[in-house]
Amino acid sequence: MITGRLDPVEVVAFAAAFTETIGSVPAVGAIHAEPFHLANQLASAGFASHGRAGWVAETTDSPTRAGTYGATQVTDPEALHREADEVTGAVRCAAWSSSRSNPPRSARRAE
């Protein structure tokens, strides 16, 4: 039995090819994420959707998510938001420097 799910950014990039007016905003984990890789994924979604993509930075963590990145779980709410702010800022910076038009839009979602 295979468990798991498709990456939300890849789903947005794929679905963008089938629409011309609908924007998509996937929820993407910002905890433990490497900003460079996340920025590239979001830039690809923005390119595929002709600028109709954004992202919601999730600020949740779990032992499973932390283990996926080889890290320890972050349980302090202030530390979660601080890391999410750092990742969001770095992704914005990378998006602006790599894509002069249509950088991804972001919002932070706490659960």
Q: Where exactly are the structural domains of the chain?
A: 1-14+24-74+92-111
pLDDT per position as a tens digit, 4-54: 778 889 999 899 889 888 889 999 888 988 888 898 888 888 888 988 888
- Name which of 41, 4, 9, 6 is nearest 24 in CA terms: 9
CA nearest to 33, candidates 66, 81, 56: 66
User: Between vectors from CA 91 to CA 86 and to CA 96, what angle results, nearest 5°?
Assistant: 130
- Cα of first residue to Cα of last residue in the chain, in angstroms, is 29
pTM of the model: 0.75
The pLDDT of residue 7 is 86
Stretch 76-85: mean pLDDT: 92
Distance CA(91)–CA(54), nearest Å, equals 12
- What are the φ and ψ backbone dihedral angles of 81, each rounded to 5 degrees? -70, -35
Question: At residue 105, does pLDDT exceed 70?
Answer: no
